[in-house]
Chains A and B, each alone.
Chain A
Amino acid sequence: MATQQLWRAQLRSYPANGHTAFLPQIRKVVLEFCQHYPSSSNARTFISNHLERVAREHPHVEFVIRQRNGHEPIARGFYANGRDKVIPLNKLEVTGIERKVQLLMDSSGAKIKPLKGARTVESTTESARGIWSGMHVDTPFII
């Protein structure tokens, strides 16, 4: 059998995070709040009372606190793919703020796209059973 030519595209590899090893995609969470305005009061409570516990439960994430005087409070998540997600915290209770921080940590940073239907299984491997060919059957159709 003649040796197959090696095509450059065959040497490409596609990322498959989680296939054998999993790397969390969340890198850093920045909580920005105002010292004085009442819209930040729940954020201040969360940072004082709950943030340390959340940070200890997720040691792979870097938590940063910043002042943002005169503005609404914000949680900003930075991801391994270079993107960031920004969530305003001004209309949330303390438990709601904890859930938004958890949402940032659960996400992978990928752009939000419609996930129904065609995107149920996303595969980069070739079909294991091969692709049917009309010319490689017992009785190919002859015109």
Chain B
Amino acid sequence: MAASWHIRNWLSHHVRRVAATRAIHAQSVLPGTTSAALEIIRTQPSQYIVASLVGRKFILTPRDLLTVPHIKDVDVGDVLVLKDIHEVGSRDYTLRGEPLIPPGRVKVEATVVEHTKGAMEVVFKKKRRKGYQKTIKNKHPYTRLRIGPIQFANSS
């Protein structure tokens, strides 16, 4: 019983020390407003966003090259604004929208870099003993977007 008490004491000391070291850099009080939360995230070295595009969610950082299926009516060089941003985060903090972050708070642009086609995919179909076989060749068209910097509102 004495031995288990010693172990428990060691554990409690350890947890308290770990909690104290974590509190040095973590915020002890949660920010009350969205602006305060975004300000804390903005001060960290790097940020990421979770945004929806063409019906799918992607984790994006600035300078990424995103490849999605061909987007119509968009020319090379056009700049698109990502309007469905679900989450903004940094190393220690995350702001999650319900379900989206209000559009005026965070602005991320994506530039259309190119419209390409992928490599040739060959699909061979056959049903044996029926005389049915065919070869389907397909090059899927893609649009590639370069993600711009994450701009926080009320910041110069």
Contact = CB atoms under 8 A, between A and B. Distances in A.
B121 to A, nearest CB: 8
A56 to B, nearest CB: 15
A119 B146 contact: no
Interface residues on A, range: 20 to 34
Given A112-B117, A115-B118, A115-B140, A105 B61 contact: no
Contacts of A127: 48
B90 interface: yes
Give the secondary structure class of A's interface.
loop
A20 B118 contact: no
Interface string A94-134: 00000000010111101011111001111111111110000
B118 A116 contact: yes
B116 A18 contact: no
A2 interface: no
Contacts, number: 102
Interface in B4-26: 14-15, 18
Interface in B44-73: 46-48, 58-68
B89 A128 contact: yes
A17 B146 contact: yes
A112 B116 CA distance: 8
6 contacts: A103-B115, A112-B116, A112-B117, A123-B61, A123-B63, A128-B47
Given A20-B149, A107-B116, 15 more contacts: A16-B63, A16-B65, A17-B113, A18-B113, A25-B114, A110-B114, A112-B116, A112-B119, A114-B119, A115-B140, A123-B61, A125-B62, A125-B63, A129-B90, A139-B14
